Amino acid sequence: MSNKIQWQFPQALEDEAIYILRETAAQFERPAILFSGGKDSITLVRLAQKAFAPGKIPFPLLHVDTGHNFPETISFRDELVKSLGVELQVRYVQDSIDQGKVQEETGKYASRNALQTVTLLDAIESLKYDACIGGARRDEEKARAKERIFSVRDEFGQWNAKMQRPELFDMLNGKINMGENVRVFPISNWTELDVWNYIRRENLAIPSIYYSHERQIIERDGMYWPYSAFLNTVDGEVPFTGRVRFRTVGDMTCTAAVISEAGKLEDIISEILEAKISERGARIDDKRSEAAMEKRKQAGYF
Amino acid sequence: MEVLHIATSGSVDDGKSTLIGRLLYDTKSITQDKLEAIHAASKRKGLDFTDLSLLTDGLVAEREQGITIDVAHIYFSTPTRKYIIADTPGHIEYTRNMVTGASTAQASLILVDARKGIVEQTYRHFFIANLLRIPHLVVCVNKMDLVEYSEARFNEIVADFQHLIAQAPFKEQEIKFIPISSLYGENLVTRTEKLGWYQGDTLLEYLETIEVDAADNQHPARFPVQYVIRPRTTEYHDFRGFAGRVASGHFSVGDEVVALPSGKTSKIKTIEKFEQQLPVANTGDSVVITLEDEIDISRGNLLAKAGQAPRELKDITANICWMDQQKLVPGKTYLLQHGVNRLKAKVQGVQEVLDVTKNEIIADKKELGLNDIGKISLKTAQPVFADTYAANPANGAFILIDEFSNATVAVGFVI
């Protein structure tokens, strides 16, 4: 394939995303951007900045903090919020655990990834958000490929895949009843490569863990897991130092690293073009079953 | 880099998912882990082949039943362009989801099983592609391997299809016929000797040559105002910008424009995109427009070039596709959304209901239920500034929303 083309960003995607963000601001009273500090939510923030310039971003950011984050992501988040002057709301999975609403998983595969749904739904209810803008993309996973741009969720945050509203042309219907909310996905039609090419074109800062660095890892099930206090290891799992980076930023217990020397954006993009494994191939949370994502979405996951 | 939207349709078991799987595979757009996952899933299901439809049928209910229920969006790129495929259900029960997937398409692929030829669903799919005025249509005559790659059989199907085309209202549609075998990947990306009698493009070759959005920029200029930007900061104290995306045509700085419904005119002072000042905004561009004069413009208003405004309508006749379990209720008021403008509209009556498989009016039917297509008349509470769908699709369609269930119950095409 011609290299030149692979570095191009399809401009129509930005125009579409800006259109969706403006519809969200106009159709809802209290929208928020779900912000994890990962590349997709960083892209969303940039798009929101462009959609409303020279005005300010009219949405607060909501971060559901599992407590198992990469520290690099949290410091990045705080700097970004400061530089943009937007409001940040943080809700903690630990609080949901302390309130007895969810129970910490145990064992080798324990993760707080699924627990964050409850914290998210509580946040939506208490902060009265009627629209949550997420950086999910349809190319990530086959259940996501089925979801609408304005995805209506009931008061339990549930996605009913069989009863989705038809979405015609670019006309978005965000009309809902009290208690319901809409998940909005402005970058639905972007691929992983589009996001990276956009970050490159816009020269956006991203957390350091996306670039090659040295880290303590363990090998499990053919994947490299970041070693941390949150990971339950078993006998024979000995941490060692590896030169790695991450393709997605999730929780430290559900995101596997890839061996990489990629030190700049161009290297990352070249690596993706060559990759034999999909982006979510390194997401341990998706490996639980063929329908892992669909089940999580039914339960209210974003 | 351009984006081309494609919609696929075909009857159940025509090999639609296999075609898409094959396109992804042959353009190296599918990663090894995803391929391994469907190999394994096919094995678990006891299949002795790799079921490529498992790539696109993302819902448990779809995999259970082996049918596509809702649209899946699938992506691949070539050095020429990025492709977005809406893989739409073929099953009659899910016609509304098919329309959903097809509404944004510039090219529609209809699959025909070479053994079966044109079947009832082919009529429906062709009718919808024609109603939506999708500019390019590819009839993929699939499973050529099962008819011994027979040229005569292919020509027979083409001739049958010509009868449909002869009756279709949208004559400008460009229609190509390509003999293919999805299973063996023949004439999708690579050619085969077995179809040596076919001299035309492979599917991908054809898709690569389609001109994207060529027509839209020629249509009259329409700019629906989505959002008024009024920062009221020290730096931008008097700034009042109209944010939106150009629906059709193009606007330049200095153009005289009319704001609807007020009818007031002004000149375009600036066209802005974040930190850039643009001389012109083309179809599809999301921009902020500022005007020379302070005129009252709010969300849902439309900017057009002076002298080229669309008609003011309060009585609308439209073809509609009904998409809700609850039937259309004549005399009931719905919300009509035209672009980003939402207002009340009362259904005056159902004028006719179509049997799309015969392309004729059903004589004794005057009600519209799920997946029905017909012609209705509406009276709107405020004027709507729409073009006919035939003249300018980007400003000629609307949706109807039920005020109580909030569901999107219909899509309409202004006549």
Yes or no: say if A59 and A111 are a contact pair by the CB < 8 Å rule.
Answer: no
Among B214, B231, B249, the domain-final residue is B214
Neighbour order of strands in the sheet with A150-153: A88-92, A61-65, A31-34, A131-133, A181-184, A150-153
Task: Indicate if the pLDDT at residue A61 is higher than 60.
Answer: yes
Same domain, B28 and B132: yes
Yes or no: say if A213 and A244 are a contact pair by the CB < 8 Å rule.
Answer: yes
Interface of A with B in 39-68 (CB under 8 A): 49-56
Interface of A with B in 118-177 (CB under 8 A): 138-139, 141-146, 152, 161-162, 164-171, 173, 175-177
CB-nearest partner of A9 from B1, B230, B235: B1
Among B237, B271, B305, the domain-final residue is B305
Sketch the domain layout of chain A as residue ranges: 11-203+290-299, 208-286
pLDDT recorded at residue A2:
43
CA A74 to chain centre: 14
Same domain, B176 and B279: no
φ and ψ of B361, to 5 deg: -75, 135
Is the Cβ pair B286, A294 closer than 8 Å? Answer: no
pLDDT recorded at residue A291:
78
Same domain, B244 and B353: no
When mean pLDDT is compared across A35-39, A101-105, B161-165, B212-216, the lowest value belongs to: B212-216
CB-nearest partner of A294 from B60, B104, B227: B60
The boundaries of the domain holding residue B328 are 311-414
Q: What is the mean pLDDT of residues B392-397?
A: 96
Same domain, B328 and B382: yes
Q: What is the mean pLDDT of residues A229-258?
A: 90
- Among A216, A214, A209, A257, residue whose Cα is nearest residue A240: A216
- Among B68, B391, B389, A20, residue whose Cα is nearest residue B399: B389
Structural domain total, chain B: 3
Quote the mean pLDDT of chain B: 92
Please tell me if residue A178 touches chain B, with a CB cutoff of 8 Å. no
Residue B228's domain is classified under what CATH number?
Answer: 2.40.30.10
Task: Indicate if the pLDDT at residue A171 is higher than 80.
Answer: yes
CA B284 to chain centre: 15
φ and ψ of B163, to 5 deg: -65, -40
- Among B383, B384, B2, B396, residue whose Cα is nearest residue B219: B396
What ipTM was estimated for this complex?
0.95
Is the Cβ pair B58, A165 closer than 8 Å? Answer: no
Same domain, B324 and B398: yes
Distance CA A145, CA B71 (A): 8
Please tell me if residue A196 touches chain B, with a CB cutoff of 8 Å. no
Same domain, B189 and B261: no
B251-252 and B280-281: which strand pairing? antiparallel
Distance CA B74, CA B101 (A): 11
Yes or no: say if A244 and A257 are a contact pair by the CB < 8 Å rule.
Answer: yes
From residue A6, give the alpha-carbon distance in Å to each of A295, B73, B197, B339: 34, 21, 35, 33
Q: What is the mean pLDDT of residues B60-88?
A: 85
Among B214, B234, B250, the domain-final residue is B214
Task: Indicate if the pLDDT at residue B154 is higher than 90.
Answer: yes
**Which three-class secondary structure state does DSSP give residue B317?**
strand
Quote the mean pLDDT of chain A: 91
When mean pLDDT is compared across A22-26, A141-145, A195-199, B273-277, the lowest value belongs to: A141-145
Yes or no: say if B362 and B355 are a contact pair by the CB < 8 Å rule.
Answer: yes
Residue B86's domain is classified under what CATH number?
Answer: 3.40.50.300
CB atoms within 10 A of CB A38: 25
Yes or no: say if A175 and A120 are a contact pair by the CB < 8 Å rule.
Answer: no
Interface of A with B in 21-40 (CB under 8 A): 22-23, 25-26
Radius of gyration of chain A (CA): 19
Question: How many CA atoms lie less than 13 Å away from B202 in the CB half-sphere?
Answer: 18
pLDDT recorded at residue B140:
97
Q: What is the mean pLDDT of residues B356-363?
A: 88
| Alpha-carbon dihedral angle through residues B405, B96, B16, A150, given to the nearest 10 degrees | -40
pTM of the complete model = 0.95
Same domain, B291 and B329: no
Strands in B104-182 per DSSP E: 107-113, 136-142, 174-179
Superfamily for the A11-203+290-299 domain: HUPs (3.40.50.620)
Distance CA B315, CA B322 (A): 19
pLDDT recorded at residue B386:
98
CA of A119 vs chain B CAs: smallest distance (Å): 25
Same domain, B159 and B250: no
pLDDT confidence bin for A288, thresholds 50/70/90: low
Is the Cβ pair A22, B227 closer than 8 Å? Answer: yes
Is the Cβ pair B79, A1 closer than 8 Å? Answer: yes
CA of A190 vs chain B CAs: smallest distance (Å): 9
- Residue scoring higher pLDDT (B358 or A124): A124
Same domain, B69 and B198: yes
Nearest residue in chain A measured CA to CA from B70: A146
Task: Indicate if the pLDDT at residue A133 is higher than 50.
Answer: yes
